[in-house]
Every structure is written in C-alpha cells, then in structure tokens.
Amino acid sequence: MMSNHTPILRTLLLGATIIAGTAGVSALAQVPPADQPPGNGNATVSPGTPTPPQDAFSPPSPNAPQAPGVNAANIPDGPPAEPSEATPMVEQVTANPAHDDWPGYGRDDRATRYSPLDQITPSNVGHLKRAFIYHTGSKPAPGQVNKWAAETTPIKVGDGLYMCSAMNDMMRIDPATGKEVWHFHANEKYDSIPYTAACKAVVYYTSSTVPEGEHCHHRILEATLDERLIEVDSEDGKVCEGFGWHGMVNLMKGMGESVPGFVAETAPPPIVNGAIITNQEVLDGQRRWAPSGVIRGYDAETGRFLWAWDVNRPHEHGEPKEGEHYSRGTPNSWAAMIGDNALGLVYVPTGNSAADYYSAMRSPEENKVSSAVVAIDVKTGEPRWVFQTVHKDVWDYDIGSQPTLMDFTKPDGSSVPALIMPTKRGQTFVLDRRTGEPVLPVEERPAPSPGMVPGDTRAPTQPWSVGMPRLGFAPLKEADMWGMSPIDQLYCRLKYRRAHYVGEFTPPSIDKPWLEYPGYNGGSDWGSVAYDEKTGILIANWNNTPMYDQLVSRKKADKLGLMPVDDPNYKPGGGGAEGAGAMAETPYGIVVSPFWDEYTGMMCNRPPYGMITAIDMHTQKVLWQHPLGSARANGPFGLPTHLPLTIGTPNNGGPVITAGGLIFVAATTDNMIHAFDIHTGREVWNDVLPGGGQATPMTYEYKGKQYVAIMAGGHHFMMTPVTDDLVVYALDNVN
Amino acid sequence: MSAFMKPHSAAGWATLLLAVIIILLGLPLVYMGAELAFLGGSLYYVVCGLVVTVAGVLMAMGRPAGGLLYLGACAFTWLWAFWEVGLDGWGLLPRVFGPTLLAIGVALCLPVLRRAEQARTTHVREVA
C-alpha cells in the first residue's frame, strides 16, 4: 500500500480495522495491518462513522445492504439453502450432437465449434445467398448511449433455432424461414446494461424429473444482464414454474451493495452433472471493493442454490448469512466456462481482482487464482486445480476465451484429456484436465520487476507456453510506428518514445504512460478457437492492438471526473470498463486508450491489427497464417476507404469449422463474414453484413439444407454499426 | 519581403503555394523530430525536416536549388525507408507516399523556378 491514501480511503480503512479477524490478508507483506480490506464477506460491523466526502467519490460502504431495485427484476431471493449436490442429470443434447444440430454455444460439450456438415464446400460456397434475416428487436432507442454488442450465437436443436437478444429476450425461430415461433420478453431495463448489452447464447436443457411430453421437459436457460437465471419451455417459451421463483433465480442474492449494471451475466452458463454454474462480469476499473466475483452452482431442475466458490472465503461454500455478502473485489470471471461431466469439473477462466491496474491491495488467495483457469468440483464448489496465465495481473489480461476440450496424443501414443486455453496474451496453454499440469511445455520467464509503483511489486517471472505457436508478434520497435504521412508517423514515434516500454509485461507507471502490448483486446478474446478433432487443426483469429495506459493520482483522477458506477454523480461514459477508470479506494485512477493517433483515429502500430492462424495440434506447427479483415470500412478520421485491401482489422468473435473444409468467421471491423478454405487459408467467399459481425457464427442443417447464421449486432467499442439482424445464409442452388 | 518570388501566373502561384505547404510540413518535422531525437529516437525526422524547410524557403524565393534540394531529400527518404522497413508495402506507405506525391509537384514546378531565377538574374543585372 501507498503512503498517500486519499482521506476517504483512510477513513474507510480505519473502519475496516475495527473488524476483527479479517482472514488472510496480513500475510501480504507490503500491506501493513491497518490497510486490511473491509471484510472478506463476513463483515457485519459498520465501518466507522461516515465523514463528509473529501473526494469525488464518497463510497457506499461495501457492507451496506443492497438497495431495493438493484435486483432490477425485483424477484425475491431464493430460499436459504445449505451446500448440496445437484439433482442427477440425464444426458444432454450437447454430449453427442445430432448431425444437423448446433445445440450449444460452442456446439458440443467440448466447445469445438466444429460441425460435421459438408453441403457447403470451397467449390460451391460462392453460391451462398441470404435465406432470411431475423430481427431480435433489441437495439439502442433514440437518445440512448449505444452500449450494444449482441455477440450472440444461436443454437439449433431439432426443429428450433433458439437465441437471445442483446437485452435477454429469448426466442425460438423456424430454422428454414426465420419466422418467430415464440418470444419471451425479459423486460430488462437500460440501467442494467453493464459495459455492453450482450447475450452470447442460451442453453438447451433436458429435464431429468419432468417426463417427456410435459411442460418444461426440454428447457431453454439463460443468464441475464440483470442477474437472473431464467428457464422457459422450449416448445412454448413460457417460464418453468418448477424452477426458482416462477422460472427465475435472483443472482444478486448475497452480492451486497451494488447498482444495476455493476454486475451482469453475458455468457451461457454451463450445466455440469445437473449443476448450472454461474460466473459474472463485474465492471472493470470502478472500485477496489466492487461486488464479488463469486462462482456459484444452482440446481438445473429447481434453481436451488448448491454451492459457492468465493475466493476470500475459500472453504466456505454456503451462502452468506443474513446481512453478509460474498467477498468483495475478488477476481471476476466473465468468459464462457466449459464443463466436464466425466471428471465432474467446471473450468472457469478467471479475470482479475477489482481495480485491475493496481495489485497491492489483493489478498494472497486472489493472487493465486486471478487470470487463471480454475477447475472446480461441481459437487462441492471446491477448486481441484488452478493454472495461472498471468501472475499478479495489472494489464487487464483477464481471460475472455472459452476453453476448448480435446484429447491430446502424446509422443508415446498415450492420450491425455486436455484443455486448450487461449489468452489475450496470445499464449495458448494446453493443460491436462485432470491435474491442470501443462501438456505442452510452459516456461516461467523473467519479467520486468519490481516495477515502478511504490509498494506494488510485479512478479519476477511470467508463464510462456513455448510449445504452442504464439498468436502475436515480436515486441514493438519505433520503426513499427505507422500513419498516413511522415508527420503522423512521427507523432506515433514520439508517443512510443514518450512512454515506458520494455516489452511484454511493462509495469504500470505514474510519471508517464506505458505501452501495453499485447493489448487487452487480445490475442484471443471472447471469440475463442475452433478445433477439428479429426484433422487436429485448430483455428484462431486474434488481435494485434497495443494499448496506451497511465496510472494517475487520485487528485488527477478526480479532476478527470473519473468515478465509479455506484457514485451518485456517475454519468454513463464517465469512466467505463474499457476506458479510463476511477479505481476508487486505491491510490490511483487509470487512463487507458488504444495506442493510436487520436487526431486521425488510426492505430499507431503498423498493420495487421487482426490475424487468423491455423495450427496443426499434432505437430504444434502453424499451417498458415494471414491478416484477417479488409480496409473497406475503416480509414483515417473514421472514414471508410472502400479499399478491398486485406489489411487485417481488429476482430471480436470466433471461427467455426465445417466438415465441408471451410472456416466461417465474421468478427472483423469491415462488417463482413468471411469463408476460408481450411487447407489453404484462401478466402473463398465473403459478404457485407448489415452491421458489424462481432459474434461467432454457427451452422446447421434443416430439411436437407445447410445454413450459416451470423448475428450482425455490431459492437459499440469496435465502432461497427449496431443492428438487431440475425443473417442466415444457404446455397441458392439447393432445394 | 523582396526575397520571395512574385508570381505572375497560375503556375507561379501554384509553385509558391507548394513551397508554403512544404515549409508548413517541414516545420513540425523539425519540432517533433527534435523531441524524438532528444528522446533517443530516429534522427531522420529532424534532419529531413530541416532540409525540407530550407528547400521550401528556397523555392518560395524562386530558387531552383530549393526544388532540387527537396527532390534530393525525397530520394534520400526512399533510401532511408528501404533501410528501415525493406520492401514492406505497409511500412513504405507512410514514409514515401506523401513525400513522393509532393516530389512530383516539385518536379513539375522546376521550370517555373528556373524562369523565376532567370527573371531575377536579368533584373539584378539591369539594376547593376
């Protein structure tokens, strides 16, 4: 901790010291006892007498009760429940997907994003035409700040195409015509949108207790932005009364003080051996004692609470008692998780503790599990193993990707149940699912240390997956700076020289900016990877977009108007998750921007900004790799160049592989969907979408015809056009 | 200032305008390039900025030497760009595209500058 706390922080921490028995934190060498956090979830004492605010941010006590209306849907808490096991599960459709179906977010239980469909091939893909466009109905209303990026991948089971809108309406669509069969209205409020209105997918669940033919035997499940689990019947879209409170579970229970939009769910919750596992996005950069990153299990049949994994209450798996809350500021996980029914585990890609860019106030428990893969036993909520991808992360290298499962064949012929974990660093780790041990070599390499922030030392080493090709380039040089002319190139060279930069893991600095490269958009972000088990080919699309960051003193942060989302004076845009953040309750705020020329709006580093890579997992060699995305919709001053040059653009959204030998990927900021021949990497087809294709496509067959669907929902941060259009393609010469 | 050329034709005005543009582009190269050099970065910008600014001033004075100096700087820029990024198209774009466009303009202006110089030397002789 620093000697220059702001007065309000000191007051808060003084209050915190009243709380006796705050577990574990005194072991943090650089933190004197007076700086203990305000209760690891078991705090019941009010933190001292409030003093008049002397800071822009007068924090609500982390121990304050949750105000009514924070649970935006206003549903009651579930009944008190002791830790327990889930109702046994029947086999789900994702275990062995039907040939024609795409029944889960990553298609199957392994999240391979591989489909056995082969009607569309490199030779006939040119005949793809739009079959229909379906409108979800969710996009910004006039006057609303655009926070939309639907990021949705529909699922297809039998006769139904199921999806959610950006604002969590659920719908069933006819797979051939796009006609809506039913529409469930989630009635979500605009205030509940966190950083982004997104809903990556719904989950198809077959009940073990409701007999076939009865209501809610087959169910559609989603987790919402306003922290609900909702189950509806797949046939009529009506809520499952046997689940929670009229089909809903209030996930704000036990979260303590919060405001709408601070905590949200955007990823499909996996169901593992009957347990729905939830994680939640906690808005980055707000305050050190933000709501908890707790991981919880709920019974898929009844919605009953099963267990919690709460980092700073490591061995307590029950719900917090009345007036208590889950431990605050702990690493949140917002990526899509993946389950493992055979091993009884859920693999949780974690993010970072709250206040991403300052680590001195984190507990040793947090430091062990942040920016890691944590395997949790779905019976008990106890972690079985942890593999960390960044030690003491202060770069927002939280994991955005969903892990993909595979069987890895070792040189001696033995097979290992493995997990592929792509990261924002572009390091792809391959781990043994049973133990978390690396299957391919991982080296701990020296990293810049101790850093430049007093009392906040950096880890001396960081892990590098040296057995896998890196989804990234060499460190930036001054000569890599770019522009349209020598003058803007010179400006970027100056920006480069004005910043601290000693390669990857350049520590945060206060006196001047530092260059963060790879940036927090990846490497691999939430798009994740696709894997063809038959050929062993892994497809990954990734980013090459550095960031320009600087820690600022509390005084400066106040002057910049940075304040957390639960400040009464907070205005949308006044410090968002991906820009500058108040990091209240720490000594510093954070200013983050792309490493760009802010006058022309062009990135400072030379292209490409986005790539696609094919890797042979048998040999771990790159088969091909090239820039992804054209310059047609981007250019200086935000003007489209209309040039068909493949420059390689930033991209968000994953790839899919088909047995027809194709890769479909949209993701790029040229607003196109692309098809590549998987063997050559050649682009064999593309089409301009009505909006940005920042989502992972999917493919299905219905009545003998193969379709490819992409949500062209756009992305506010990627500055691509936002629409509510699901665009579905099929060959025009097949009937 | 009497040292500057006094255009009598559209071509003359175009030449003067080009000279002014070159000066305006050269000065930030000097200013920012000096800071870059000070911070341990490339020396190219400050050196090239000075040369280009001088070239622009000479052109504005109606001296062909200014145009030739600019063309020389542009040729040097090509060599420097090859040295720094090789034959990489995206890398060459910011380094040589703009300067070469201007160089084409400067080459087209050379006859104007020659005429201006001839006119001036004649004028000077007359005065003498």
pLDDT in tens, A679-712: 999 999 999 999 999 999 999 999 999 999 999 9
C-alpha to C-alpha distance for A545 and A152, rounded to whole angstroms: 23
* Subunit contact B40:A498, Cβ cutoff 8 A: no
Ordered by start, the domain boundaries in chain B are 10-123
Q: What is the pLDDT of residue A13?
A: 32
Backbone dihedral angles phi then psi of residue A627, each to the nearest 5 degrees: -60, 150
* Subunit contact B45:A490, Cβ cutoff 8 A: yes
Q: Which residues of B touch A (CB under 8 A)?
A: 25, 28-29, 32-33, 35-36, 39-42, 45, 48, 77, 84-85, 90-91, 93-95, 97-99
* Subunit contact B42:A496, Cβ cutoff 8 A: no
Question: How many CA atoms does the CB half-sphere of A211 hold within 13 Å?
Answer: 1
Out of A88-97, A241-250, A570-579, A609-618, least confident range: A570-579
Q: What burial class does residue B121 get, using C-beta atoms within 10 Å of its C-beta: 0-12 exposed, 13-18 middle, 19+ buried? A: exposed
Q: Which of A482, A497, A606 sits opposite B40 (nearest CB)?
A: A497
Tell me the pLDDT of chain A averaged across its residues.
Answer: 90
Q: What is the pLDDT of residue A72?
A: 66
The proportion of chain A whose per-residue pLDDT surpasses 70, expressed as a percent, equals 91
Q: Give the mean model confidence (pLDDT) for residues A501-527.
A: 96
Cβ(B28)–Cβ(B45) under 8 Å?
Answer: no
The proportion of chain A whose per-residue pLDDT surpasses 90, expressed as a percent, equals 80
pLDDT of A568 higher than 90: no
Residue A662 CB neighbour total at 10 angstroms: 23
Residues in chain A with CB shorter than 8 Å from the CB of B45 are: 486, 490, 493
Per-residue pLDDT tens for A362-377? 999 999 999 999 999 9
* Subunit contact B33:A479, Cβ cutoff 8 A: no
Q: What is the pLDDT of residue A64?
A: 84
Q: What is the pLDDT of residue B124?
A: 64
Q: What is the pLDDT of residue A205?
A: 98
Residue A41 CB neighbour total at 10 angstroms: 25
Query: Which of A189-193, A322-326, B27-31 has the largest mean confidence?
Result: B27-31
Out of A5-14, A422-431, A693-702, least confident range: A5-14
pLDDT of A630 higher than 60: yes
Backbone dihedral angles phi then psi of residue A584, each to the nearest 5 degrees: -55, 155
Q: Which residues of A touch B (CB under 8 A)?
A: 478-479, 482-491, 493-494, 496-498, 606-607, 647
- Catalytic residue chosen out of the listed positions A396, A532, A558, A724: A396
Alpha helices in A560-598 (DSSP H): none
pLDDT of A285 higher than 60: yes
Question: b/e for A258-293, b at 16 or more Cβ within 10 A?
Answer: bbbbbbbbbbbbbbbbbbbbbbbbbbbbbbbbbbbb
Torsion angle of the four alpha carbons A441, A447, A450, A453, in this order, in degrees rounded to the nearest 10: -110
Residues in chain B with CB shorter than 8 Å from the CB of A494 are: 32, 35-36, 39, 41
Residues in chain B with CB shorter than 8 Å from the CB of A485 are: 94, 97-98
Out of A61-70, A459-468, A535-544, A629-638, least confident range: A61-70
Cβ(A625)–Cβ(A52) under 8 Å?
Answer: no
* Subunit contact B99:A647, Cβ cutoff 8 A: no
* Subunit contact A497:B32, Cβ cutoff 8 A: no
SS3 A46: coil
Query: Does the active-site annotation cover A396?
Result: yes
Residues in chain B with CB shorter than 8 Å from the CB of A627 are: none
Q: What is the pLDDT of residue A36?
A: 39
Q: What is the pLDDT of residue A566?
A: 86
C-alpha to C-alpha distance for A421 and A608, rounded to whole angstroms: 23
Q: Which of A705, A43, A651, A693 is nearest to A328 (CA)?
A: A43
Per-residue pLDDT tens for B1-41? 457 888 888 999 999 999 999 999 999 999 999 999 999 99
Q: How many CB pairs under 8 A join A and B?
A: 59
pLDDT of A190 higher than 80: yes
B125–chain A nearest CA distance, Å: 42
Out of A14-28, A134-148, A262-276, A720-734, least confident range: A14-28
Q: Testing the interface with A: which of B23, B27, B30, B32 to mutate, by most A Cβ within 10 A?
A: B32
Pairing relation of β-strands A114-115 and A655-658? parallel
Q: What is the pLDDT of residue A25?
A: 30
C-alpha to C-alpha distance for B31 and B44, rounded to whole angstroms: 12
Q: Give the mean model confidence (pLDDT) for residues A411-415.
A: 92
Residues in chain A with CB shorter than 8 Å from the CB of B95 are: 486, 489
| Six token digits for residue B96 | 């040589």
Q: What is the pLDDT of residue A611?
A: 98
pLDDT of A491 higher than 60: yes
Listed in order, strand segments (DSSP E) in A34-127 are 114-115
Residues in chain A with CB shorter than 8 Å from the CB of B35 are: 494
* Subunit contact B85:A498, Cβ cutoff 8 A: no
Per-residue pLDDT tens for A153-184? 999 999 999 999 999 999 999 999 999 999 99
Q: What is the pLDDT of residue A5?
A: 34
Residue of B nearest to A608 (CA): B90
C-alpha to C-alpha distance for B61 and B53, rounded to whole angstroms: 12
Is residue B127 very low, low, confident or very high in pLDDT (cuts 50, 70, 90)? low
Q: What is the pLDDT of residue A55?
A: 54
Q: Give the mean model confidence (pLDDT) for residues A235-243.
A: 98
